[in-house]
Amino acid sequence: MTVYVKDASKSVLSGLGKMKAAMIADYAKFMPPTKSPVTAKMNADYADNFDIRYGKKYIKIVEKGGEPCTTWYYMYSDDDKEVDMVELGTKIIGNFGAMIPLSFGEVVTIETFDVGPREKEVKVVWDNGSHTWMMESEINEAVGKLSPIGYYTEEVYYAG
């Protein structure tokens, strides 16, 4: 069952508390704690059995053991270090592999939209006059991966 929590929160922790309360209430509808001592224990165990996992762009609440029916995601956009790695004028290198020459460009626009992903979108104008829109997280994403194909800041590309 899907539950939407529409009450606004002033902090992520407050929002997490509201979501956890909604998940517990939803579970109680499915498995009424007043039905028997067994269901009462199951409700208590459920309420005390959450794990919070932090990813690059999400916070995930899951029942310990990882049951997919008890998962909740909070998507967010970091407004610090990693996301602010690109600013207007940042030099970008595009490595497309397969003996294609490197492309060289510059960030000319950075925007965040109220709909869709809340991550910043970056417009790069290449030396040949064309341009590419990309999510900011795509830049330097291939660092340390087997394939070097991707977009890099000039600083990171030449440091590696």
Asked whether the beta carbons of 107 and 123 are under 8 A apart, the reply is yes
Please tell me the predicted confidence (pLDDT) of residue 80. Answer: 38
Asked whether the beta carbons of 119 and 83 are under 8 A apart, the reply is yes
pLDDT tens digit sequence for 13-60: 677 778 778 888 888 888 888 999 999 998 888 878 776 666 555 666
Domain boundaries in the chain? 12-75, 83-159
CATH 2.30.30 fits 83-159, yes or no: yes
pTM passes above 0.85: no
Q: How far is CA 77 from the centre of its chain?
A: 7
